[in-house]
A and B are shown apart, each in its own frame.
Chain A
Amino acid sequence: MGTSTPTPSGEQEIPEVGGTYRTVTSSPAETLNPLYNNEAGAGTLIGYALDLGYTFKPGNTLMPQLYDLTTDDGGKTWTGKVRENLEFGAGYGQVTAEDFVYQVQELHQAEWASTADSSAWPAEVTIEQTSEFEFEITLPSANLLYPQTYDPLLYAIPKDLIKPYVENEDDKGLQEDQELLNLEFTGNLGAYTLEEWNRSSGQTYTRNDDYYLQEATDQNALFENAPYFESLENSVVQEQASRLAALETGETDSAAVPPERVEEFDSMDGVNVYLIPQPYNEVCVYNMRENGWNAGPGNLFREKKFRQGLGCAVDKQTLVEGVFRGYANVEYTWQPRWSQWYPSEADMMEFGTGDLYGAEAAQSRIEEAIANTEYDYSYDSNGRLLNPSGEQCTITLYHSAGQNTERSMAEFIAQEFEDNAGIAVEVNAIQGAQFAREYWQQEIPENADELEWSNGAYNAGPRDVATSPNAWDMTVVFGLNTYPLNPLAGEVFFQKDSFYNPYGYYPSWDAKSLFEEANSATSQEELKEIFGEIFVNIAEDQPMGMLAFPSGRSGYSADIDGPAENFFNGWDFGAWHREE
């Protein structure tokens, strides 16, 4: 998994065009309006008819779609070169740099429009048209990984379409515009053209004969006559059993497969299951705020050695094989192993594996941590951790109700903590939204103005003063994004005063300076070195129990040629075809 697939090159036989590509989704799309969609599923549906500015292909290289982004001053100024063969439909004419610049300046950077992309375009980022097919983005400070933040990623929307709404500052009208909702303006900008959107049951598309990427054979020889299906259909099938039945009978060409049925489906003649790496991890988060660690006085989670001890208590390989049935990779630091930013393994502390796993490894570190505090915790002869009152330390662990895999993971952690760290863990189920509201978010202190920082409900202040309404110890409810393409975006998870620190983590390493250095790095080599240092520090400091990277499991009809087991699966969707 995660290995790169070489781009097809040289002489390649061009497939026949024909047939229908069928896919199923579990829930209906709310909107297909590209300016207001913020759901990944609907993004895919929009993407069939309307390409985004660029994408990434195996090898982590940028593939220009509508435009290319380059920098020659170390990432402060970025030049966007728009392709010259892009045409809108519905009489809107050729796509030019002006369409992108107008969209950013008048919608994303305007107060009234509240578009999905507005957070990507703060006022200090400027965009100017420099020629008919060229625009220039200037950042407040250099960022070599700017395209990887996805911030400069835009759809092409005709200036003339949005202009009346801009003049009237009519956000409601813009959200409800029929041409935007039904993607009527997409011209040659997508592999397919949306024919019908039945709100509850799905979409049908037809082949776009003039797809602009047909001229991009330098990226993939198979783009020459792309796409290769006459039509594409997406059906909403809410019941998982029905989606899987459709995959089995060949009524759909793709559907997600749950872990317990991967083997069964992969062994079918008509289906192949691909394990697709994804960036979200499974973490056991410790509450280092004042209302965390409710097993006794003090908050032991704040001790680095204690967290390391907990890291030694859970066997990650067994977790991956037992709970995730092998469809996941172990996680040691805030980056998957296949990422180009993953430090060399010699430097990494791999908690939960080898010498860094087991009762001895866990308890010795926990004892060191206790010695560092003023409280009288100790181990008894049965290896149970006792609090100063002489009772075994008991803490709670929350997981999302109704999520079987998550529940198994929580129970496994509880068992390992009990066996190896001598800490009893009570496993509790809770609805994700309720946990977010009552445990994860903090109440804003009344004297917020006088605090060193107070950054909203997810980091309402220093950990001694700002806490959530209810006490909690540990949770596995939320997986977080590790940003394998652009780890800079993950900075917020490790700064004590960022707007996201519900767990009250204070790094024992100099996170601020290292991320600042990474932000101002001028070459990839320099970046790699700094990220290496950052991820080694994170592995050592154990801000949370970093456990696993589960893979996405997608089943495809065996005769579909195109899907690949890597993070970039789908980058060349236009070239996918049915084998004859």
Chain B
Amino acid sequence: MGMEWYIVRRVAWAAIVTFIIVSITWGLMAAAPNPEVQAAATQAAMDGDDPTAAAERAEARLQLDRPLHERFMDYVVGVYTLNWGWSNTRNQPVTQAILESLYYTVQYSVPWTILTVLIGPLVGLYSAANQYSWKDHVATGFAFFGFAIPNFFFGIILLLLFGVTLRWIPIVYQTDVPVFSVQNAIQLAVPVFVLVTGSIGAIMRVSRNESVEYTNADFVKTARAKGVSTYRIYFRHVLRPTMVPLSTTIVGYLLALFTGSSLLVEVVFGIPGLGRTLYDAVVAQDTSLVLGSTLFFTFVATIGNLIQDLVYTLLDPRISFEDR
């Protein structure tokens, strides 16, 4: 019993939650009028063709002319037999659509996450070490600037500067360059920069505040009195305790490693990643693809939460799962 029983219950609960979320999503999608049918009718109307017939043809093609319960049962059976269906807007299997998009998302979200996790706490620590000096203000200003400026706007400005004026980076994202190549690093540099500046703000502020708390702690004063070097004090005696509360934020970021994608940055830089895929699918009501993506995100989120809960027990043995 104990932890094993807790894990079994959590996993079972995750399956139920996933089913509920996906069923609600399915219901919402089914209730909304399908834009593809509407578009077919409008186009036919503008061209003087029979709009009603065009709408009926589109419904038949999208299999929307079948009864609701049949469509729902098909879907539920598909989910549990890992047959996630066919994306009508991409004309490929949903699983393939998600994997293809993930491939491009990972290429920028991995460096984004690593840089955020590395730079955020360090800038916070630097600010704390130089509290209220001009260096602190510059670092804080930098963090707030990145946090405050909308990513898509910043992206367009940098694209115009580095792409059009200086011509250092390509405007059109190249999917055919190798992942580990200089061209790929060049084309991903600006999107990663935009994302990192946008996301370190919060981490930097938390780590600054936590670090400030420890810079005047008794054990730091003792270390200083013993003649320990400044760098050692900051990295060993300040940063370490700071990282404990920060780790919850960072675990969140690590979770986002494979799923965190930014729609607007993908739109501006033309990166064919998950954010765009899901957004396009929602807009076009590509039910299978929306549900497939929802399933994927729900799965990652519930499993991620479970892992996070388990990690607590490893970090802090005082937390126990007995009797929960």
A241 touches B46 (CB 8 A): no
Interface size on B, residues (CB 8 A): 54
* B35: interface (CB < 8 Å): yes
CA distance A235 to B174 in the complex (A): 9
A119-B54 CB under 8 A given contacts A114-B60, A201-B173, A241-B156: yes
Contact string against A for B residues 54-89, beta-carbon threshold 8 Å, 1 for contact and 0 otherwise: 100100110100000000000000000000001011
Interface hit among A27-35, A320-328, A406-414: A27-35
CA distance A245 to B35 in the complex (A): 31
B51 touches A242 (CB 8 A): no
B54 touches A480 (CB 8 A): no
Contact string against B for A residues 408-433, beta-carbon threshold 8 Å, 1 for contact and 0 otherwise: 00000000000000000000000011
Q: What are the residues of chain A within 8 A of B176 when measuring CB–CB?
A: 204
A236-B272 CB under 8 A given contacts A28-B90, A478-B45: yes
Which residue on A lies nearest to B160, using beta carbons? Answer: A245
Q: What are the residues of chain B within 8 A of A493 when measuring CB–CB?
A: 48
B53 touches A119 (CB 8 A): yes
CA distance A169 to B16 in the complex (A): 38
The B contact surface, by secondary structure, is helix
> What are the 6 A-B residue pairs with the smallest beta carbon separation, nearest first?
A200-B272, A456-B52, A201-B272, A246-B171, A492-B48, A199-B90
Interface hit among B36-44, B130-138, B225-233: B36-44
A-B contact pairs, 18 of them (CB 8 A): A30-B90, A30-B91, A119-B53, A181-B91, A199-B91, A199-B272, A200-B100, A235-B173, A235-B270, A242-B156, A248-B164, A249-B164, A252-B172, A433-B33, A433-B35, A433-B42, A481-B47, A490-B48
A38-B49 CB under 8 A given contacts A30-B88, A199-B92, A433-B35: no
Residue of B48, B52, B284 ringed by the most chain A CB atoms within 10 A: B48
A242-B159 CB under 8 A given contacts A31-B91, A176-B91, A201-B272: yes
* B101: interface (CB < 8 Å): yes
A529 CB to closest chain B CB, in angstroms? Answer: 23
Beyond contacts A245-B159, A499-B50: 15 other A-B pairs, Cβ-Cβ < 8 A, are A30-B90, A32-B91, A38-B40, A119-B49, A175-B91, A181-B92, A248-B164, A251-B170, A436-B42, A436-B45, A479-B46, A480-B48, A483-B48, A489-B48, A499-B51
Q: What are the residues of chain A within 8 A of B89 when measuring CB–CB?
A: 28, 30
CA distance A481 to B100 in the complex (A): 39
**Chain A contacts with B in 434-485, Cβ cutoff 8 A:** 436-437, 456-458, 478-481, 483
Residue of A22, A199, A481 ringed by the most chain B CB atoms within 10 A: A199
Which residue on A lies nearest to B47, using beta carbons? Answer: A481
CA distance A163 to B92 in the complex (A): 22
Q: What are the residues of chain A within 8 A of B248 when measuring CB–CB?
A: none
B276 touches A200 (CB 8 A): yes
A241 touches B61 (CB 8 A): no
B61 touches A480 (CB 8 A): no
A238 touches B270 (CB 8 A): yes
**Chain B contacts with A in 89-126, Cβ cutoff 8 A:** 89-92, 97, 100-101, 104
A458 touches B160 (CB 8 A): no
* B304: interface (CB < 8 Å): no
CA distance A211 to B170 in the complex (A): 32
A44 CB to closest chain B CB, in angstroms? Answer: 16
B43 touches A436 (CB 8 A): no
* B236: interface (CB < 8 Å): no
Which residue on B lies nearest to A477, using beta carbons? Answer: B42
Which residue on B lies nearest to A32, using beta carbons? Answer: B91
B92 touches A242 (CB 8 A): no
* B175: interface (CB < 8 Å): yes
**Chain A contacts with B in 5-46, Cβ cutoff 8 A:** 22, 24, 27-28, 30-33, 36, 38
B51 touches A457 (CB 8 A): yes
* A500: interface (CB < 8 Å): yes
CA distance A321 to B69 in the complex (A): 55
CA distance A172 to B101 in the complex (A): 24
A237 touches B172 (CB 8 A): yes
CA distance A332 to B51 in the complex (A): 26
* A266: interface (CB < 8 Å): no
A237 touches B270 (CB 8 A): yes
* A367: interface (CB < 8 Å): no
A500-B51 CB under 8 A given contacts A38-B43, A238-B276, A280-B46: yes
Which one of A27, A28, A235 lies within 8 Å of B172 (CB-CB)? A235
Which residue on B lies nearest to A199, using beta carbons? Answer: B90
A251 touches B171 (CB 8 A): yes
Q: What are the residues of chain A within 8 A of B175 when measuring CB–CB?
A: 198, 201-202
CA distance A118 to B172 in the complex (A): 38
CA distance A405 to B81 in the complex (A): 50
Which residue on B lies nearest to A499, using beta carbons? Answer: B50
CA distance A280 to B50 in the complex (A): 17
CA distance A24 to B88 in the complex (A): 22
A498 CB to closest chain B CB, in angstroms? Answer: 8
* A239: interface (CB < 8 Å): yes
Q: What are the residues of chain B within 8 A of A224 when measuring CB–CB?
A: none
* A491: interface (CB < 8 Å): yes
B164 touches A198 (CB 8 A): no
* B148: interface (CB < 8 Å): no
CA distance A522 to B10 in the complex (A): 79
CA distance A31 to B286 in the complex (A): 13
Which residue on B lies nearest to A24, using beta carbons? Answer: B172
Residue of B35, B60, B171, B173 ringed by the most chain A CB atoms within 10 A: B171
Q: What are the residues of chain A within 8 A of B319 when measuring CB–CB?
A: none
Q: What are the residues of chain A within 8 A of B170 when measuring CB–CB?
A: 251
Q: What are the residues of chain B within 8 A of A204 when measuring CB–CB?
A: 176
**Chain B contacts with A in 165-204, Cβ cutoff 8 A:** 167, 170-173, 175-176
Contact string against B for A residues 158-194, beta-carbon threshold 8 Å, 1 for contact and 0 otherwise: 0000000000000110011000010000000000000
**Chain B contacts with A in 2-55, Cβ cutoff 8 A:** 33, 35, 38, 40-54
Which one of A30, A198, A437 lies within 8 Å of B272 (CB-CB)? A198
Which residue on B lies nearest to A31, using beta carbons? Answer: B91
B48 touches A239 (CB 8 A): no
A241 touches B160 (CB 8 A): yes
B270 touches A176 (CB 8 A): no
Q: What are the residues of chain A within 8 A of B164 when measuring CB–CB?
A: 245, 248-249
CA distance A30 to B285 in the complex (A): 12
Q: What are the residues of chain A within 8 A of B167 when measuring CB–CB?
A: 249
A396 CB to closest chain B CB, in angstroms? Answer: 21
Which residue on B lies nearest to A180, using beta carbons? Answer: B91
B171 touches A481 (CB 8 A): no
* B277: interface (CB < 8 Å): yes
A242-B48 CB under 8 A given contacts A24-B172, A38-B43: no
